[in-house]
Amino acid sequence: MGESMTSSRPYLIRAIHEWIGDNGLTPYVLVNAENAEAVLPQQFVENGKIVLNISVGATSGLHINDDWVLFSARFNGQSMDISIPIEAVLAIYAKENGQGMVLDREDSDGMPPPPPGSKPGVKSEKKPEKKPHLQLVK
C-alpha cells in the first residue's frame, strides 16, 4: 500500500487524445513553454504558453511515452521536431468544443499535492476539524 505509483499524467494524456480522435475532433494541448527542457516553436509562444495541434493529420511520428510528447510538425512551412516534457502539458482538449482535461500540477516525487489553502511547513491557524464518527448500524 505504501508503494509510490508512477504519474497518471501520461496515461490521461494518451486516453484523452484517443477519445478526442475517436470522436472525430482535433486534439490540442496547452503547454507550459517556460519549461527549460521543452523544444517548441518559440515564435508562437504567448504569455509563457503555447497551444499545439497534436492530431494524427497535423503531426508526424506522434509518440506519447511516460516522460515526453514527441512529434514533428510544420510551422510556417518548416518542419520542426517538438519535444514536450509530460509535466509541461497543462491541458488536452478538443479544438471544436473545448472538451477534455486540465491536468493538475503533480509533484514529481509522486506524492499527492498538499490540500488547498495549506502551505508546506506552515501550521494552519484553523482549528482541527472533527473526524467523522462512523457507527455500525444493525
All three cell numbers of 108, joined, read 514529481
Note whether residue 73 is domain-resident: yes
Note whether residue 125 is domain-resident: no
pTM recorded for the entire structure: 0.74
Note whether residue 32 is domain-resident: yes
Number of domains into which the chain is organized:
1
Q: Which residues does residue 100 pair with via DSSP β-bridges, in sequence order?
A: 93
Note whether residue 37 is domain-resident: yes
Note whether residue 116 is domain-resident: no
CA distances from 108 to 4, 9, 27, 91, 124 (A): 11, 11, 25, 17, 24
Question: What is the CATH number for 94?
Answer: 2.30.30.220
Region for residue 10 given its phi and psi (left: phi exceeds 0; alpha: psi -120 to 50; beta: otherwise):
alpha
Note whether residue 75 is domain-resident: yes
Range of the domain at 31: 9-102
Work out the average pLDDT over 15-42. 97
Which residue is listed with cell 497551444? Answer: 51
| Model pLDDT for residues 99-134, shown as the tens digit of each residue | 999 998 754 444 444 445 544 444 444 444 555 555
| Model pLDDT for residues 54-88, shown as the tens digit of each residue | 999 999 999 999 999 999 999 999 999 999 999 99
Note whether residue 77 is domain-resident: yes
All three cell numbers of 112, joined, read 499527492
